[in-house]
Homo-oligomer: A and B are copies of this chain.
Amino acid sequence: MAVIECVPNVSEGRRTDVIQRLADSLKAVPGLRVLDVQSDAAHNRSVFTLAGDAEAMVAGIPKLFEGALAAIDLRSHKGEHPRLGAVDVVPFIPIDGVTMEQCVQLAKSIAADVAARFSLPVYLYEDASSNPARKNLEDIRRGEFEGLAAKMAQPAWAPDYGPATPHQTAGATVIGARMPLIAYNINLATDRLDVARKIASAVRMSSGGLRYVKAMGIPLEDRGIVQVSMNLTNYEKTPIFRVFDLVKREAERYGVQVLESEIVGLVPAAALRQCVEYYLQLEGFSGAQVLENMLRSHHEA
């Protein structure tokens, strides 16, 4: 069975009854699992982590829009986090047995559906967008709800779906598909912050490094060492092992050793399998050979 992750961000982080009602409506959808709900009162925003197949997403996401649009009026919404819509952003993330292209199609199909159903402008972003100026969430959201009418008046900001003017209470929504993020840090056996910063600069895309790496050099003051702290935004195209080997090589140039590395939070199993395949020069290996996966598929059959 295909597993897609979906992480909708909703502009309500204070009224717990509203948040609970939205979560309950998602939990009632067959095949849709609500893995996590994080609400932040200062941000006045809630992040739902959902998992399921395309069918569950098609059934569940419009319900979330229906509940959120009925309960949220952005004209009176205040919070520290930038937002454009009552349902602000909805990324679909391929996890298992599903391609990025299938997540892009799903994002477009749900975008068309909610735009028509709720007369809501929808922008596509990340892998779902084919417009380079409208790939980054920050670019689309700049100006926020309050600046949306003026922004949408420009031809360059006509939405991908729905009306060319903002929804009166719900603004607009950004829907798309992206790879899972991996938070990956490499600790160096030195206290030289300049070395960590030079290595970060060498490996990150923004200064000439690998395409899907964001990196900075920071001190770990309690340990007297420094760290290259990274986000890997597409492990299929910029795999962990290539980042590790490059950081290690750059460190050698300064006579510095890699002390250890760490993965913070979650990582897809495929990103680990990539590393095993690389270092062991493994040919013809598939995730179906992992014993636990066989047990799982039998369990679900």
Instruction: Give the distance in Å from the alpha carbon of A266 to the alpha carbon of B294 in the complex.
Output: 8
Tell whether A58 is near chain B: CB-to-CB under 8 Å.
no
Please give me the 8 A-B residue pairs with the lowest Cβ-Cβ distance, nearest first.
A260-B283, A279-B279, A266-B291, A275-B276, A272-B276, A269-B292, A260-B281, A268-B291
Convert A254-268 into 0s and 1s, putting 1 for each residue whose CB lies closer than 8 angstroms to a CB of B. Answer: 000011111101111
The answer, yes or no, to whether A253 is at the interface (CB within 8 Å) is: no
* A262 cross-chain contacts in B, Cβ below 8 A: 282-285
- Rounded to whole angstroms, the CA-CA distance of A263 and B268 in the bound complex is 20
User: Taking the complex as formed, is A240 at the interface, i.e. its CB lies under 8 A from any CB of chain B?
Assistant: yes
Most buried by B among A240, A269, A276: A276
Give A259 to B248 CA distance when docked, in angstroms.
24
Question: Closest Cβ of chain B: how far from A113's Cβ, in Å?
Answer: 25
Task: Give 15 CB contacts A-B under 8 Å.
Answer: A33-B295, A33-B299, A95-B291, A95-B292, A95-B295, A96-B292, A187-B283, A244-B279, A244-B280, A260-B281, A262-B285, A266-B290, A268-B292, A269-B290, A276-B276
- Closest B residue by C-beta to A296: B296
Residue contact A280 to B33, C-beta cutoff 8 Å: no
A262 CA to B286 CA in the complex, in Å? 11
Contact A282 B266 (CB under 8 A): no
In the complex, what residues of B have CB within 8 A of residue A266's CB? 289-291, 294
Asked whether A150 is an interface residue with its Cβ less than 8 Å from the other chain, the reply is: no
Contact status A35-B240, CB under 8 Å: no
Q: How far is the CA of A294 from the CA of B36 in the complex (A)?
A: 11
CB < 8 Å neighbour of A285 from B35, B263, B268, B295: B263
